[in-house]
Structure 1
């Protein structure tokens, strides 16, 4: 009998309700390092408290009470959105165990570096680049073993049933997941030089980019990696011909390469203190994921080619032209292990930009529990004079909570909020979403939209973010709760509520108790087995 990890069984149970050249090793550091931390940006800031939500503990506590809840609503974690099936990946010792590696096998493996595209800010002391990523070893896993491991994630199908191209993608992504992170090691020297164009857009250089002529140098990170192999630190760099941040409005770019790592490349974006930054989620807004249908979401993420949603590449290309000197930042809470797939997709379809994904380790517990808010606050506080446009979709519960909170906490920095209403455009999205955070926010600052074309003819530069041809009819609270709970859906095209032309929201008749009871049965089975 094949062993199925608990984290996969939990993912599978969601389907009841939703259908759900070798590089040298890193230099050793014989001096005991300080505890690894994610360094703050070199600006003054006082982060506000973060209230975290533990989905797994919510599930465990709700299983025993859910039958009595049928008359009044859903368990809290369901009402808050869909649990991310891209969670709970094995790391470190769990990977060593899964692949049957011994210490000699591990020692012989080359060391690789995931070097995530960073942003840099300007202070009176000069430019500071936020280098972040992960140091790991990639085991030599056989095709047959990768097939077995991929089958764990491909719920209700097998890798042998997929087309050859999709089999290859599934194996590649599985191999990216089953890596061995390298704890408490020094990251090799990082080489910097002026960058060429990165990413597609309507402008040379990928949009908002100047002709970078300086910056060539080598830098060393101040800390060793964390216990999960992560590194994240702002590092001052020398000017060496770079333009000062207070003398330009354009983005300067530097190629960054970790010494000895064949795939340790990235592009650093040197962002001036003032200007416009577009912070964009990726799943179900820039690419078709269907995260709210776990079975389809898994196939779209593990096997099928990443596909843009509607004409969002055209929208972003137009923004890169019509909004000069714009900085694009892609923030997704997808775990670090699959970052490269997302970066390659963005490079092929959207303007180049800096990246944030879900790190494997934090010294800040609250950041672990509320990662999107942590990363949003970090970039807002790093650039206190910049304006931000926030883009996501309604199936993303943390964006629905954190985006309006940023508008409240940083009212002079949030320029626009754009949210695709997935429940109104995809009948497969049967999960509620909460609009209560938008109460009190000026309608001109946000818009719930149906199609990518709704984002045309907006005056974003001047903060006019609402296309008045797209009715909102917004009520503030949970939308589309089953069993009559929450606010009644309103049949208004483009509304934040459900539209009359699709059947995306749960109702008493369409899903209600039947789907919920099926889910509870699956969760009880998983709980009893483990």
Structure 2
């Protein structure tokens, strides 16, 4: 691998690189890495039904929205995240989607003008037993992935954003109880048309301060959150 643009260069705020393969293989892979400060706020966000319309609860619609139809953004989420990015937040997207969707997701995020983010997708291959991981419950991938991110940035504060269709409330509640001093806020998008009983959230966020978590329906309300207050913690 070699650097193609040094950090902080006028051409790009990121660290550009390319990877050259061994003798006899002329393929070249280009990439970039965001430089994240030692301190600050990082947003860990789900993808499906949080920022991208997927309809996970409907298996037929899930498959169509993932593999057939063009990706569609949840209205207002790109603007909300852009607002947080201007306030200095770094972003990680953590999803149980297979890594084979990475190119399509990157194109989608670019087209919809989401902030630059690291993508943490599920790794599997069709030719070995790892294909069975597609059937795993989302927490089996998400919890260790999120804990690894938190461990990698020990002085940053984290905002967790997900939705009500699967297990994000329960996953984020478990993470917040384990890392109470590291999680500054939790936001759960209430996915229409179903109304999730409040008792579910009370259970998911048991033993956590009520002010820590918010269920939202209008993504515009996220822009009102004082992200800078977390950065000063």
TM-score, length basis structure 1: 0.37
Which of 122, 140, 151 is matched with 1:370 structurally? 140
SS in structure 2 opposite 1:395?
coil
Look at both structures and tell me which one has the larger radius of gyration over its CA atoms. Answer: 1
1:453 corresponding residue in structure 2: 220
CA distance in 1, matches of 2:166, 2:228: 26
Kept in 2, the 8 Å contact 1:254–1:268? The answer is yes
Question: Could you tell me how far apart the structure 2 residues matched to 1:431 and 1:297 are?
Answer: 23
Gaps of at least 5 residues in structure 2 are 21-25
Structure 1 segments unaligned to the other structure (5+ residues): 1-189, 196-210, 215-250, 464-530
Tell me whether 438-447 or 376-385 shows the greater mean CA deviation. Answer: 438-447
Q: CA RMSD for the aligned pairs? A: 3.0
Distance in structure 1 (CA, Å) of the matches to 2:159 and 2:144: 17
Name the SS for the 2:150 alignment partner: helix
Q: Secondary structure at the match of 2:100?
A: helix
Aligned length: 214
Which of 60, 80, 85 matches 1:295? 60
Quote the Cα distance in structure 2 between the aligned partners of 1:430 and 1:407. 21
Give the Å deviation of 1:377: 0.8
| Contact 1:416–1:460, Cα closer than 8 Å, also in 2 | no
Give the Å deviation of 1:375: 0.5
| Helix, strand or coil at the partner of 2:69 | coil
Instruction: Give, in whole Å, the separation in 1 of the partners of 2:144 and 2:50.
Output: 21
| TM-score, structure 2 as length reference | 0.81
User: What do the CA deviations read for 1:42-99 (whole angstroms, capped 9, x no partner)?
Assistant: xxxxxxxxxxxxxxxxxxxxxxxxxxxxxxxxxxxxxxxxxxxxxxxxxxxxxxxxxx
Distance of 1:358 and 1:285 partners within structure 2? 17
Counterparts in 2 of 1:367 and 1:302: CA distance versus 1, 3 Å:
closer
2:84–2:227 contact (8 Å) kept in structure 1: no
Say if 2:113 is the partner of 1:352. Answer: no
Among residues 227, 236, 261, which one is paired with 2:27 in the alignment?
261
Equivalence for 1:316: 81
CA distance change for structure 1 residues 297 and 433 in 2, over 3 Å: closer, same or farther? farther
Q: How far, CA to CA, are the matches of 2:92 and 2:19 in structure 1?
A: 22
What is aligned with 1:283? 48
Find the aligned partners of 2:118 and 2:53 in 1 and give their Cα distance: 21
State the match for 2:3 in structure 1. 192
Does structure 1 retain, via aligned residues, the 8 Å contact 2:85–2:115? yes
User: Do the aligned residues in 2 keep the contact of 1:388 with 1:414 (CA within 8 Å)?
Assistant: yes
Classify the secondary structure of the residue corresponding to 1:317: helix
Q: State the distance in 2 between where 1:313 and 1:333 align.
A: 20
Structure showing the higher strand proportion among its residues: 2
For 1:380, the equivalent position in structure 2 comes to: 150
